[in-house]
Amino acid sequence: MEKKLHENLITGLETLFNPKSVALIGASTTFGKWGQLIASNIIAGGYKGKIYPVNPGYQDMFGLPAFSHIREIPDPVDLAFIITPANTVPSVLQACGEKGVRGTVIITSGFSESDQAGKALEQEIVRIGQKKEMFIIGPNTMGIIAPYADLFATGAHSRPRKGSVAFISQSGNLGNQLTHWADQQGIGISLFVGSGNEAMITCPDYLEYLEHDPHTRIIILYIESVGHGGRFMEVATRVNRKKPVIILKGGTTEAGRTAAASHTGSMSGEDAIFRGACRQAGILNARVPSELLNLSAGFSSLPLPKGNRVGIVTLGGGWGVVTADQCNDRGLVVPPIPNHMVEAIGRHLPPFWSKGNPVDLVGTRDLDAPIVAMQELAKWDGVDAVMVLGVVGRDEFVHSLIQSTRDADPEISPEFLDQIKAMSRHFEELFISKMVEFMEAYEKPIIGVSLARTDSGTVRPVPGRRYSGVFYQTPETGVNVLARMVEYARGTE
């Protein structure tokens, strides 16, 4: 019986996240209303299935025929988005069940997060869903994003690229912020679900689905409560052995617990107990939302380290010193390099370079030096990971220098400056390509720290490659990601 229920859940969620048709019950053309936010996002996002707006006040919407009731739709409907007032949701759900709708996403709020009457209403919609064998996401959710189905159905119109990171968030706003950041930073996602109140489908259910999802390699959770702690830990522990599960838990303080109760109607458990259970199971806990994003970039784009030894390449000495200190503080080892590596790297550097680890490139203009140093460290069996500081990002400074030169020297050749600009850009592209090539050849993570903040994002994909270049803004961020990857690798041995 339990196996059958599990199979039904996986099949049902597969339909929800890959629907051939969607109904938008409560669709609107009034700018800024939820019915307009969801409908316009789905249509503009390029969803290729059939779309059926449902609103009795319209004959057509967004250039599509509109229906006054879901029963008037002539074709089957896989997924319905419900965006009507809370007191109407039971009757709408009943009609969806009679229509044969497989699943619903209830955007509407006003349920268990509000008051006792809302809690009773939530229990009623669950009974209807169970009776009609219909899966319910939410209520009180910001929606879902399923990039592999070209389905972007959230209030915020971020459209991250297809990738391997799944986000499940009990907070729609925080989830939308993370997907927006992912879009900006080049992190591809496989799925986003604002799970809301989790009246029917809970966090362990999503984990079980993602365990088998071929597009998902990393799972990111924002949770405020765990309704069935034992089942959650059992499922999360099992899934974590195959795919990293990284958790940010809200409601860790009294103020946070109070806010969580009014936000999703949840009661947050004792944080120390939860963190202890996760630590024992080898599940990583993030401290803040930005760490979730940084970890998702690293875990989705880099091979896992096999140990805690680090080789460091730095354009200038100071960053190498700071990074070595950070590594030491986080339990990472920075070993000395052997003489044959000193000789190989030294052929491209002036005699006064550091001759050690960190490898200080002393600001050299030899474009082969950083690539040689990176490869020598990556192929050496004395380290398990490499960090490269300040090599990528110089392009921003070159651009500034070119602009200053144009302003200061009217006689300089514009063609010459354009050549310098093109060479600088080409070098960064070459370096990132080599970085990814070495990761695939030696199966070690190579983590970059950019010399300057750029608009290129944290993750730099290379066409045809399994891994991507990853560049953080600060050494401490890069070291933290590497240390957490080492922690995960050790916890799942």
Q: How far is CA 474 from CA 354, 454, 481, in A?
A: 22, 13, 11
User: Is the pLDDT confidence value at 253 over 60?
Assistant: no
Residue 262 pLDDT class (50, 70, 90 cuts): very low
Select from 50, 12, 9, 198 the least CA-distant residue to 112: 198
Mean pLDDT of 384-413: 90
Residue 269 pLDDT class (50, 70, 90 cuts): low
Select from 390, 364, 400, 394 the least CA-distant residue to 473: 390
User: Is the pLDDT confidence value at 405 over 60?
Assistant: yes
pLDDT tens-digit map of 436-470: 999 999 999 999 999 877 677 899 999 999 999 99
For the chain, what is the mean pLDDT?
92
Output the six-digit token pair for 474.
């600060």
User: Is the pLDDT confidence value at 207 over 70?
Assistant: yes
Higher pLDDT pick, 69 / 227: 69
**E runs forming strands in 177-320:** 189-194, 218-223, 245-249, 284-285, 310-314
User: Is the pLDDT confidence value at 7 over 80?
Assistant: no
Residue 366 pLDDT class (50, 70, 90 cuts): confident
C-alpha 386: how far from its chain's center? 23
User: Is the pLDDT confidence value at 266 over 80?
Assistant: no
Q: Which domains does the chain have, with CATH numbers?
A: 1-140 (3.40.50.720), 143-301 (3.40.50.261), 304-491 (3.40.50.261)
C-alpha 101: how far from its chain's center? 30
Instruction: Please name the amino acid found at residue 486.
Output: V
Residue 84 DSSP code: S
What is the Cα–Cα distance from 209 to 18, expressed in whole angstroms?
Answer: 13
Select from 27, 123, 23 the least CA-distant residue to 83: 27
User: Is the pLDDT confidence value at 142 over 70?
Assistant: yes
Q: How far is CA 256 from CA 167, 202, 260, 309, 350, in A?
A: 21, 21, 6, 38, 55
Q: Is the model's pTM score more than 0.85?
A: yes
Element (H, E) at 135: strand 135-137
Residue 256 pLDDT class (50, 70, 90 cuts): very low
Which residues have CB under 8 Å from 388's CB, separation 6+?
Answer: 312, 313, 314, 370, 374, 435, 446, 447, 448, 449
Q: Which residues pair with 387 in a beta bridge?
A: 312, 447
Q: Which residues pair with 167 in a beta bridge?
A: 192, 220
Q: How far is CA 401 from CA 144, 154, 407, in A?
A: 45, 43, 10
Residues 163, 187 contacting (CB under 8 angstroms): yes
In percent, the amount of the chain with pLDDT more than 90 equals 80
User: Is the pLDDT confidence value at 254 over 60?
Assistant: no
Residue 260 pLDDT class (50, 70, 90 cuts): very low
Mean pLDDT of 126-136: 95
User: Is the pLDDT confidence value at 195 over 50?
Assistant: yes
C-alpha 206: how far from its chain's center? 16
Sheet with 310-314, strands from edge to edge, namely: 359-360, 310-314, 385-389, 446-449, 468-472, 459-461
Select from 226, 206, 220 the least CA-distant residue to 266: 226
Mean pLDDT of 121-147: 96
Mean pLDDT of 112-128: 95
Mean pLDDT of 1-13: 71
What is the Cα–Cα distance from 133 to 427, expressed in whole angstroms?
Answer: 57
* DSSP letter string, 342-396: HHHHHTTS-TTS--SSSEE-TT---THHHHHHHHHHHH-TT-SEEEEESSTTHHH
pLDDT tens-digit map of 309-350: 999 999 988 999 999 999 999 999 999 999 999 999 999 999
Output the six-digit token pair for 301.
């784009």
What is the Cα–Cα distance from 204 to 3, expressed in whole angstroms?
Answer: 15
Place of tokens 């050496």: 380
Pairing verdict, β 446-449 and 385-389? parallel
Q: What is the pLDDT of residue 6?
A: 64
What is the Cα–Cα distance from 352 to 366, expressed in whole angstroms?
Answer: 15
User: Is the pLDDT confidence value at 107 over 90?
Assistant: yes
First to last CA, the chain: 33
